[in-house]
Structure 1
């Protein structure tokens, strides 16, 4: 007797998903609740678990777009332990099919016993690299996407099949004047990002105002207390918590920055601040949310951001963790951005852009000194926020960051 596994309901506004990757192969024995596939919606990537133990029979193929309720596969009753020795180890599901044969040749003491994230497993399969030969730098030895991208094919693996070695030996693609092209289907997430960004540009009166922040006081504070902070709270003290705290404090004076328009005629003011933090994930930019950021301490904000960022890197964010948000902070500085005009994350009315910290000469007490300076940008919807409010808000954020004691005293 077989059981049909269907695409589950993942959100009110989601009507279809894309089958991005099978984590098990057709005919494999799977355990109940073992993840067997990755599904991608226009908001997040999530895993599909087996609803009972048995033999997997694949119906939908990778890349297929499926409606909610569509049949993905079936699971037949049967014993498969002998055919799939690695099956009982659920955590190894994403790489079990590629590691079974070569694992015996590897020294198990040479690498961490972690597993690969779904994104990392896919990259390693495309490279033909055994995950057992890659040392993971993630939590508990988990192989991250960055680990997979840096991984190189071992000499013995490259020399084994002549057919695989041939493409690597052909330098034709590097010839000057070559005009190669390749096409990739846009993911649901990328299509949604594109659609939303165009809509924001067309439907809002977006404007950007700039200022600069002397980061020396915060850097001095971090240097003095970072060790004791980490020892007490178990988390590092970063810049993002200071910016989040400054933003939520400034909003008490400029509530319009935390407002939104609904139904075209109503202004909705929130007395809480759910801060969306822009994070670069393997499949695109995502904005998980730190709920009630206005009530969190610096360590509480750091822990919330670290947890969400880890989930984003492993494509583990849920729809709920990315739904809502009243204000967004994005940090292009981690990629070296000097200045930019960030686009509003609708239906929010404003977004703060952080940038690279550069040592620059400034005038201080009548003297020219070198200080670590950062440009900050506030893009806002002029339909809701006036120029006085936008400039005043950004100046207030600057004041709080340049004198961190204000954040603690609330002045």
Structure 2
């Protein structure tokens, strides 16, 4: 018989696990293509998982409220029309993912996202990987195989290399460290308890993990966006008529930040062990909240290949999907830099928490009319200007104050002179 194996979908660079929040089928159920199988909760989204095939659910390996890694086997489906006495043929699919799982470069072995992450984290090369005997189906390398390999390296390392192998100790002794949130002190008070949903629990854990991972520093600057406000007011009616989209301030900052990231690529990087990965793609995420207080970070992919019209259309499409509850996991993964808009609720500025494994996040403050000194040929005068604060939280492990200042200055210079011809 032909069997489809439903695997935990690839959840993105920074999210390698998810919680099974609801199982919608039982063993023995007959299903058709696109029938919903289960719901998965991650740090980014609650996602429904449809079946890519028609058939019968023969085995369910997961349970509700179970936390699982990407690539974990969830259930078996016997294909429609297949008889039990036919030769068994196992096929695998990671549902709810727009990308097929690809092997590591220059190797034909299947590597799960978790194994790839561990290879990068502990400096295991492809040559080293050839020494690892996989214990999974078809000889696949699993987490336990990597840990066994690291343990053997610890045992055979000569004294001169012992310090290098020390970096493996923590993962061998405690392979899945979790940041523990202390229980609050119990006290008596009038009030009602509000249960945290799965999404909010994961967000809380990720925020604490980020603070314990990156050395957070926030730098704040002020920008005069009077010209931008006037340009947008004048241009948007024509843009909407010609391109069926309005240019938002958020879209403008996506474009401007993209240009700054090209000048200062270290802001578009991640720290992998003791190395810095400078990313070639520029994928900018932005924080978007719903009326139910759910927070999502959709990602505008390949920003450096888009003009302001293309960016505006992508941003609006993603916002519509957030509001309609149709945002997919693939639309919230792969981000390299994040924007968050404190100005949506009149906030002047803030100190945002970095979205791991990125190294910086930019907060946009509220645009306000303020009195300001204006330099003219006849001397200084007081005038009304539109101004806003920009606050950049950055990882001080690799980004110092000078680099953060140059990056912010590049954004300010670009935004204060913003005047593209889009008509």
The answer as to 2:313 corresponding to 1:298 is no
| Alignment pair present for 1:195 and 2:167 | no
Partner of 1:137: none
Partner of 1:244: 254
Counterpart-to-counterpart distance in 1, 2:47 and 2:212: 31
Which deviations, in whole Å up to 9, do the C-alpha atoms of 1:138-175 show, x marking residues without a partner? xxxxxxxxxxxxxxxxxxxxxxxxxxxxxxxxxxxxxx
Counterparts of 2:333 and 2:266 in 1: how far apart (Å)? 21
Cα pair distance change 1:214/1:349, threshold 3 Å: same
Q: Indicate which of 239, 242, 246 corresponds to 1:232.
A: 242
Which one of the candidate residues 408, 411, 414 is aligned to 1:394? 408
Aligned to 1:11: 10
Cα distance, 1:328 vs structure 2: 0.9
User: Does structure 1 residue 272 correspond to structure 2 residue 286?
Assistant: no
Distance 1:46 1:69 in 2: 17
Offset of residue 21 of structure 1: 8.8
Counterpart pick for 1:182 among 193, 206, 212: 193
CA shift at 1:179, angstroms? 2.3
Using the TM superposition, give the Cα deviation of residue 403 of structure 1 relative to its aligned residue in structure 2, in angstroms.
Answer: 0.8
Residue 101 of structure 1 aligns with which residue?
A: none
| Root mean square deviation of aligned Cα | 3.9
Give TM-score, length-normalised by structure 1: 0.63
For 2:230 and 2:257, locate their aligned partners in 1 and report how far apart those are by CA, in whole Å: 21
Assess if the C-alpha contact under 8 Å between 1:278 and 1:285 holds in 2: yes
Residue 47, structure 1, aligned to residue 48, structure 2: yes
Query: 1:18 Cα shift?
Result: 3.1
Correspondence 1:205 to 2:215:
yes
Tell me the CA shift for residue 220 of structure 1: 0.8
Give, in whole Å, the separation in 1 of the partners of 2:289 and 2:23.
20
Instruction: From the superposition, tell whether residues 376 and 51 of structure 1 become closer, same or farther in structure 2 (CA, over 3 Å).
Output: closer
Q: CA deviation at 1:299?
A: 0.9
2 CA distance for matches of 1:355 and 1:313?
22
Change in CA separation of 1:185 and 1:240 when aligned onto 2, cut-off 3 Å: closer
Shift of 1:217: 0.8
* Structure 1 residue ranges without an equivalent (≥5): 78-177
Identify the residue that residue 150 of structure 2 maps to in structure 1: none
State whether structure 2 residue 325 is matched by structure 1 residue 323. Answer: no
Residue matched to 1:333: 343
Deviation at 1:320, TM superposition (A): 2.5
CA distance in 2, matches of 1:371, 1:391: 23
Q: How far does residue 244 in structure 1 lie from its aligned partner after superposition? A: 1.3
CA contact (8 A) 2:56 2:77 kept: no
CA contact (8 A) 2:31 2:55 kept: yes
What's the TM-score once normalised by structure 2's chain length?
A: 0.61
The alpha-carbon deviation at position 32 of structure 1 amounts to 4.5
1:33 is aligned to 2:34: yes
- Post-superposition Cα deviations, 1:104-156, rounded to whole Å, max 9, x if no partner, equal xxxxxxxxxxxxxxxxxxxxxxxxxxxxxxxxxxxxxxxxxxxxxxxxxxxxx
CA distance in 1, matches of 2:23, 2:372: 53
Q: 1:383 to 1:310 in 2, by over 3 A?
A: same
Secondary structure in 1 matching 2:356: coil
- Select 2:232's aligned residue among 222, 233, 243: 222
Unaligned runs of 5+ in 2: 82-188
Q: Specify the SS of the correspondent of 1:251.
A: helix
* 1:336 to partner: Cα distance: 2.1
Alpha carbons of 1:183 and 1:70: their partners in 2 closer, same or farther (altered >3 Å)? Answer: farther
Q: Which whole-Å CA distance do the structure 2 matches of 1:345 and 1:49 have between them?
A: 28
* DSSP 3-state at the match of 1:252: helix
Task: Determine the C-alpha separation between the residues in 2 that align with 1:50 and 1:255.
Answer: 40
> Which residue number corresponds to residue 377 of structure 1?
391
